[in-house]
A and B are shown apart, each in its own frame.
Chain A
Amino acid sequence: MTIQFNEETFRDDYSFRNSDWAIRRFPFPFHEDSYMYSVNMEQHQGGPEESVYEKRFDVDEHYVAEMQDRALVLAEDPLRCQSLPHMTLAGWDTLELIMVSKSEDSPDLFELHRDGDRWRWINKPMGIDHTFTFLDETTLPCGPLEYITRQAQGDFAVLDQRGDMLYMDAGMVTTQADWSLDFDIGMDFFEWHAPVPLANEMGIFKRALKFLLNVRQGSPARRLNWTMTVNPLLDTSPENYHKWGVQKSSLTPANIGAKQHLRVELQTFYRLPRSNGLLFPIRCYLIAFQDLVTIPKWGRRLHRVVRDLPEELADYKGFIANRPLMLDYLGQYDDGLPTSPGVWPDLETEPPLQT
Chain B
Amino acid sequence: MSAAPQKTKAGAEKIDVTVSAVVPLNELVTRFEFRRTDGRPFPPFSAGAHTVVEMNDDGRTRLNPYSLMSDPADTSTYAISVRRDDQGRGGSLYLHTHVGVGDRLTLSYPVNLFPLDLRGRKHVFLAGGIGITPFMAMIAHLDRMGGAWELHYACRSKALGTYAEDLMQAHPTRAHVYYDDQNQRIALEDLLDGQPLGTHVYVCGPKGMIDWVHTTAAAHGWPDENVHSEEFLAPQPGTPFEVYLSRSDITIQVGESESLLEAIERCGVDAPFLCRGGACGQCETDVVEAEGTFEHRDHWLDDDEHASGKKIMPCVSRFDGKKLVLDR
Judge: A and B partners, yes or no. Answer: yes
* A residues adjacent to B (C-beta < 8 A): 27, 29, 31, 40, 42-43, 45-48, 51, 53, 85-87, 89, 96, 160-163, 210, 214, 216-219, 223-224, 273-276, 342-343
Interface centre among B3, B45, B117 (most CB of A within 10 A): B3
* CB < 8 Å A-B pair total: 83
> What is the minimal beta-carbon distance from A186 to any residue of chain B, in angstroms?
11
For A275, the chain B residues whose CB sits under 8 A away are: 46, 118
Instruction: Known A-B contacts: A162-B115, A276-B48. Give 10 more (CB < 8 A).
Output: A31-B2, A40-B1, A42-B1, A42-B4, A47-B4, A85-B119, A89-B145, A162-B225, A218-B13, A219-B8
Query: A217 to B111, Cβ gap below 8 A?
Result: yes
Is B72 in contact with chain A by the CB < 8 A criterion? yes
For A216, the chain B residues whose CB sits under 8 A away are: 13, 109, 111, 274
Query: B43 to A273, Cβ gap below 8 A?
Result: yes
> What is the minimal beta-carbon distance from A283 to any residue of chain B, in angstroms?
13
Query: B4 to A51, Cβ gap below 8 A?
Result: yes
B7 nearest CB neighbor, chain A only: A43
> What is the minimal beta-carbon distance from A211 to any residue of chain B, in angstroms?
10
For B48, the chain A residues whose CB sits under 8 A away are: 276
Query: B1 to A217, Cβ gap below 8 A?
Result: no
B75 nearest CB neighbor, chain A only: A273
B275 nearest CB neighbor, chain A only: A214
Query: Can you list 10 residue pairs at the A/B interface with Cβ under 8 Å?
Result: A43-B6, A43-B8, A51-B4, A96-B44, A214-B274, A217-B110, A219-B13, A273-B45, A274-B45, A276-B48
Is B237 in contact with chain A by the CB < 8 A criterion? no
B117 contact from A29, A96, A162, Cβ within 8 A: A162
Query: A219 to B118, Cβ gap below 8 A?
Result: no
> What is the minimal beta-carbon distance from A257 to any residue of chain B, in angstroms?
25
CA distance A140 to B115 in the complex (A): 28
> What is the minimal beta-carbon distance from B88 to any residue of chain A, in angstroms?
26
B144 nearest CB neighbor, chain A only: A135
Count B interface residues, CB 8 Å.
30
The 6 closest A-B pairs by CB, nearest first: A47-B4, A218-B13, A218-B109, A86-B118, A276-B46, A276-B115
Is B49 in contact with chain A by the CB < 8 A criterion? yes
For A274, the chain B residues whose CB sits under 8 A away are: 44-46, 72
CA distance A217 to B49 in the complex (A): 11
Query: B1 to A224, Cβ gap below 8 A?
Result: yes
Query: A343 to B1, Cβ gap below 8 A?
Result: yes
Query: B3 to A53, Cβ gap below 8 A?
Result: yes
A interface SS class? loop
Query: A219 to B46, Cβ gap below 8 A?
Result: no
- Asked, given contacts A89-B118, A89-B145, whether A219 binds B109 with beta carbons under 8 Å apart, the answer is yes
> What is the minimal beta-carbon distance from A256 to any residue of chain B, in angstroms?
26
> What is the minimal beta-carbon distance from A193 to any residue of chain B, in angstroms?
19
Query: A45 to B46, Cβ gap below 8 A?
Result: no
Cβ < 8 Å to A, chain B residues 1-34: 1-6, 8, 12-13
Query: A224 to B49, Cβ gap below 8 A?
Result: no
Interface centre among A27, A45, A161 (most CB of B within 10 A): A45
> What is the minimal beta-carbon distance from A107 to any residue of chain B, in angstroms?
17
CA distance A46 to B4 in the complex (A): 8
For A219, the chain B residues whose CB sits under 8 A away are: 8, 12-13, 109
CA distance A87 to B119 in the complex (A): 8
B117 nearest CB neighbor, chain A only: A162
For A87, the chain B residues whose CB sits under 8 A away are: 118
CA distance A27 to B4 in the complex (A): 11
Is B280 in contact with chain A by the CB < 8 A criterion? yes
Interface centre among B1, B43, B119, B225 (most CB of A within 10 A): B1
Query: A45 to B8, Cβ gap below 8 A?
Result: yes
A264 nearest CB neighbor, chain B only: B1
For B6, the chain A residues whose CB sits under 8 A away are: 42-43, 45
Query: A160 to B118, Cβ gap below 8 A?
Result: yes
- Asked, given contacts A217-B110, A219-B13, whether A40 binds B2 with beta carbons under 8 Å apart, the answer is yes
> What is the minimal beta-carbon distance from A206 to any residue of chain B, in angstroms?
12
Query: A343 to B72, Cβ gap below 8 A?
Result: no
For A162, the chain B residues whose CB sits under 8 A away are: 115, 117, 225
Is B112 in contact with chain A by the CB < 8 A criterion? yes
Is B282 in contact with chain A by the CB < 8 A criterion? yes
For A163, the chain B residues whose CB sits under 8 A away are: 225
B4 nearest CB neighbor, chain A only: A47
Query: B8 to A343, Cβ gap below 8 A?
Result: no
- Asked, given contacts A43-B8, A162-B225, A274-B72, whether A343 binds B46 with beta carbons under 8 Å apart, the answer is no
B46 nearest CB neighbor, chain A only: A276
